[in-house]
Structure 1
C-alpha cells in the first residue's frame, strides 16, 4: 500500500502543468486527454515497458525493476541507466513516487489484465491522476493482442510509422505459423512440459497465459492443472513428471537445465533420454514467458520450428538476426545469433 503521508507530501509539490491537446480512446474504451507532444513515457508493467522500448526507446524514462544480466545484453547503453520506479510487477509491486515525480513522464501505460488486477490498476490510476500523469490502458494478455497493442502505443507516442512496421511483422508471423499448423492432426501434437524453478518441478497448467505458445506452436501441454493464481508456477512431484513423460521439455532457468542433464531421475523421462530438452532463449528478454513480451513473436517461430520442422521449416539464425535488427536495433553476427538461440 502507498504510504499516505508520502503521497500527501508528494501531491503538495506536484503541481504539474501539461498542455493536454489530444483526446484518445485507450484499449479499455476510456477517453483520456494526453499531451500532443510526448517526450517521456513509462509503463507500469514489464510487457508494456518492453514494448515501449522497441517502439520509442528514446522516450522510455523509467523501469519496473533493475535490469538483470541478460537484459543488459544487446540493449542500448541508455537502457542500463534509466531509473527504477516500480509498478504493477516488480520492486514489490509498489510505486516509488519520489522517483516517478523526478521522471515526470508525459504519459503512463497500464496493463489492462484480469479482474484480480482491477483494484491495483484503479489505485494506480488514481495516484497518477493526482500527480497529473495521464494513464492509458493497454490490452496485451495474449500474443494475438500484440499487433493492436503495437499500433495503439505507436499512435499515443506519435510513432505510427515505427508501430506500423512492427505490426506488419507481428501479423505476418502469426498468420504464417497458423497456416503452417492449421491442418496438424491431434495425434501429431508434441507433448511438452514447461520446467520452471531451480528444480524444474514448477510448471503452468493448461490454459495459463504463461504457456500460450505451446498450443499455438503445435504442442500439447502435459500439465492439465488449472491455474490457481495469476502468478502460476504450480508445484508437481517427480512421480507426476514421470507419468507425464513428455516428448519435449522447455526449461526457463539455466541452473535447472544443467541439473536435468546430470540428475539420474530426470534421465527416466523420455525427453531427456531423447535429448529433447531445450533452454529457452532469454536475451535480452525471455522469448517464451516471464515476462511475456513482443519477444514471443520470435519465440513462437523458434518453438514451431523445434516441434514441427517439417511444417515450419525456418532458418532461425537468419530470422533471429532479422528480428533483432527490426525490434531491438542490433545487428548480430551468425555466431551471436547461434549463441542466443542455443544458450549454454
Structure 2
C-alpha cells in the first residue's frame, strides 16, 4: 500500500470515528434533554436517579428485568435480550414479538448491541445482576456515557418479588396493575413458608435438577438457579457453592447414581424423553419410581433461565409435585389463573394441561 493510500485510509477511519462519536454525543444529549420534565427517585440499590415523570419506554440489560416489565407494562418494552423461542412467541403480543433484539449482559460474556440501543433510545435502563458487583460496574461504565438514566432493581431471591413489583408499579405509574401481582407473590411466599415450617430437615425430599440434553449439568445448592428446591421443601443433592453466576456445572452419571435422588426435575425435553430408557439412569430411585418431572417452560421457564416471575407459579407447581398431599391444588386451574393475571392470556383447560405436560 502506497503512502497516499495509507493516508487516505487513515483519513477515512478518523472521519468514521469522529462521525461515530458525534452521533453518540448527539444521542446522549437528546437523552439528557428528555429529562427536562423529570423527577428524582431512589432505586432499589439506594441510588438517587433522575428519571422522566412519564416513562414511555424501558430496556432491561438482562432477562429477569425484561420479564418483570413484560408482566407490569409490556407496552413499555423498548427491546428484547434475545429472540423469543417458539413457546414464548405463542403467548406474546405481536408488538412484543417484533421488538428489536438489543441483547444484554447475561450468560457467558454477552453484551448488548449499543448501536441498536442508541437507535431505540429508551427512557430508562433497568439493571439487575445477581450479587455480581464486577459485572454491574462494567455495565455502569458502558452506559454512563450514553446519558440514559440507569435504575437498579433487586431480585436476589424469589422473596424479593413483592418489593420489585411494588417498586416498578410506582416507577412506571402502574400501581393498580401491580397490586394483584403483589398479592399473588405474597400468597406464594406464605405457602412456601408454611410448608417449610411443617418439615424437618430429614423429611425434605432429595432432588436433582437435570439440565442439558443429557441431564448431566446441574446447579449448586447455593445457586439462584436452583432456589426453588429448598423453597418448596426439597433438598438439592448437589451440595456446593456456586462458582459463578452462570452455573450449569458438569456432573457424571455415576455421580447422580451416588446422589440417588427421589425426584428429578428435567429442564430439557430431550432428556425427559430418554431418561426412562437410558440404562445409565435405571438404578436411580427417582427413575425407578417414575418421579421425573419435566419443568414447564412456556412462555418463560417456571424454574430458571431466566429466573423470572414465572417462578411464583413454578413454586406452586413444585410444591404440588413434591408434596401433593400437603399442597393439593388444581394445577390446571392455577395455571389458567396465573396466565390471565400475569400475562393477560386466557387459557382453556386443554391448553393449560399441555403447558403442564399432562
Q: TM-score, normalised by structure 2?
A: 0.90
After TM superposition, the structure 1 stretch with the greater mean CA deviation from structure 2, 226-235 or 280-289, is: 226-235
The answer to whether 1:104 aligns with 2:121 is yes
Q: Is the 8 A contact 1:192 1:221 kept in 2?
A: yes
Q: Is the 8 A contact 1:25 1:32 kept in 2?
A: yes
Deviation at 1:20, TM superposition (A): 4.4
Q: Distance in 2 between matches of 1:160 and 1:219?
A: 34
Q: Distance in 2 between matches of 1:323 and 1:90?
A: 28
The answer to whether 1:253 aligns with 2:268 is yes
After TM superposition, the structure 1 stretch with the greater mean CA deviation from structure 2, 280-289 or 85-94, is: 85-94
Which residue of structure 2 lines up, in the alignment, with residue 337 of structure 1?
Answer: 352
The answer to whether 1:203 aligns with 2:218 is yes
Q: Distance in 2 between matches of 1:9 and 1:93?
A: 26
Q: Distance in 1 between matches of 2:65 and 2:343?
A: 15
Deviation at 1:219, TM superposition (A): 0.5
- SS of the residue corresponding to residue 278 of structure 1 reads strand
Change (3 A) 1:7 1:48: farther
Change (3 A) 1:7 1:43: farther
Deviation at 1:38, TM superposition (A): 0.8
| Equivalent of 1:277 in 279, 285, 292 | 292
After TM superposition, the structure 1 stretch with the greater mean CA deviation from structure 2, 213-222 or 67-76, is: 67-76
Q: Distance in 1 between matches of 2:303 and 2:118?
A: 33
- SS of the residue corresponding to residue 276 of structure 2 reads helix
Q: Distance in 2 between matches of 1:203 and 1:168?
A: 32
| Equivalent of 1:54 in 71, 75, 80 | 71
Deviation at 1:90, TM superposition (A): 6.0
Deviation at 1:84, TM superposition (A): 0.9
Superposition map of 1:1-150 within 5 A: 8-14=21-27, 15-16=29-30, 17-18=33-34, 19-89=36-106, 93-114=110-131, 117-150=132-165
Which residue of structure 1 lines up, in the alignment, with residue 240 of structure 2?
Answer: 225
The runs of 4+ residues in structure 1 deviating greater than 6 Å are none
Q: Distance in 1 between matches of 2:198 and 2:108?
A: 44
Which residue of structure 1 lines up, in the alignment, with residue 7 of structure 2?
Answer: none
Q: Distance in 2 between matches of 1:37 and 1:129?
A: 21
Q: Distance in 1 between matches of 2:85 and 2:23?
A: 30
Q: Is the 8 A contact 2:108 2:246 kept in 1?
A: no
RMSD: 1.8
Which residue of structure 2 lines up, in the alignment, with residue 288 of structure 1?
Answer: 303
Deviations 1:128-147 (A, max 9, x none): 33222100001001100111
Query: Number of residue pairs matched?
Result: 338
Q: Distance in 2 between matches of 1:120 and 1:85?
A: 18
- SS of the residue corresponding to residue 244 of structure 2 reads coil
> Which entry has the higher C-alpha Rg, 1 or 2?
2
Where structure 1 has 5 or more consecutive residues not aligned to the other structure, the ranges are none
Where structure 2 has 5 or more consecutive residues not aligned to the other structure, the ranges are 1-15
Q: Distance in 1 between matches of 2:257 and 2:118?
A: 52
